[in-house]
Amino acid sequence: QLQLQESGSGLVKPSQTLSLTCAVSGGSLSSGGYSWSWIRQPPGKGLEWIGNIYHSGTTNYNSSLKSRVTISVDKSKNQFSLKLSSVTAADTAVYYCARDSPGIPFDIWGQGTMVTVSS
């Protein structure tokens, strides 16, 4: 059964870059038809889609974050990553990785990882 697991720094200083990785187990990230997304949820607030990537490397980003976001894939390690630059306190959130396919979106989620932006 496919599983996703986020990892990365839980505390990031303002103006620095947030870096997270999502490890895919129980299946291949290169399986056709799927894309791999990052979604975040600030404390006590709703969900926000950050962007996604296909195994080919094609990416799509939330227009409100596009200037600061980079999502990449490492097929050899079966994982994909998120980098968010110039972070502020507003970027404090639980960050989730998730799988989606046409017609059946976000069907598998990681458990989420809390990232706090603070000096």
Q: How far apart are CA 41 and CA 20, in angstroms?
A: 15
Q: What angle do CA 32, 111, 95 make, to 5 degrees?
A: 85
Q: Quick one: 63 or 119, whose CB is closer to other proteins? A: 63
Sign of the alpha-carbon torsion through 86, 71, 95, 75: negative
Q: Quick one: 63 or 76, whose CB is closer to other proteins? A: 63
Site residues (vs other proteins, CB under 8 A): 37, 46-49, 51-52, 60-63, 96, 103-107, 109-112
Q: Quick one: 27 or 112, whose CB is closer to other proteins? A: 112
Using the 8-state DSSP alphabet, how is residue 62 labeled? -
DSSP secondary structure string, 7-29? EE-SEE-TTS-EEEEEEEESS-T
Q: Quick one: 26 or 105, whose CB is closer to other proteins? A: 105
